[in-house]
Amino acid sequence: MRLFVAAWPPGEVRDALRSIPRPTLPGVRWMPEDTWHVTLRFLGEVADPDPVVDSLRAEVPGHGPQPATLDAATTRLGPVLVVRVAGLDRLASLVRSATAPAGDDPRSDPFVGHVTVARARGRGVPDALVGLGLAGGPVTWSVDEVALVRSITGAAGARYETRATVPLG
């Protein structure tokens, strides 16, 4: 099964993300609210999630809640439209280390916290979508747990199923 470790945003962050204008443009698909998350580590295919959960439970608790800040506007990140999230670098590093033996090799590039809000086909994200402001942004919140999430792809796109959560406190 395809797994990743994520931080799910709370209500006030989802409210800010909901406030982004969503013009209808050819080739642009706006992501449904139930997919909004910050990926801390993508694992890829993992046959048995139990050792991943065990590793997270052994390494993550005791580090305490981590402050995260959602930016005030959208930006382009490769082929997707995102809202950047600052403050989770240490947590992502901890998650990468705890889950290193599982799935795909951990990425060596720097962590870039973000929530994907739209995907675009063809030429990528149109310039008109970059810099769309969020009501009430930037928004700071406390990440107090991480989730091991299964990605299930289908004709309508991906849906996510939380397999386990691990508190940071």
Over residues 128-166, the pLDDT tens digits come to: 999 999 998 799 999 999 999 999 987 777 899 999 999
In sequence order, what are the residues at sequence separation of 6 or more whose Cβ sits closer than 8 angstroms to the Cβ of residue 161?
Answer: 149, 150, 152
Residue 126 DSSP SS3: coil
pLDDT at 55: 95
Query: Taking the model in full, what pTM does it have?
Result: 0.93
Give the Cα separation of 20 and 141 in Å (integer): 18
Written out in words, the top-level CATH class of the domain with range 2-167 is: alpha beta
- pLDDT at position 108, please? 75
Residue 104 confidence class, pLDDT cut points 50, 70, 90? confident
Average of per-residue pLDDT across 16-31: 94
Cα-Cα-Cα-Cα dihedral sign, residues 56, 60, 65, 67:
negative
Q: Is the pLDDT of residue 112 over 80?
A: yes
Task: Supply angle C-alpha 113, 118, 124, rounded to 5.
Answer: 100
Please tell me the predicted confidence (pLDDT) of residue 122. Answer: 80
Domain residue spans in the chain?
Answer: 2-167
| Percent of the chain with pLDDT strictly greater than 90 | 82
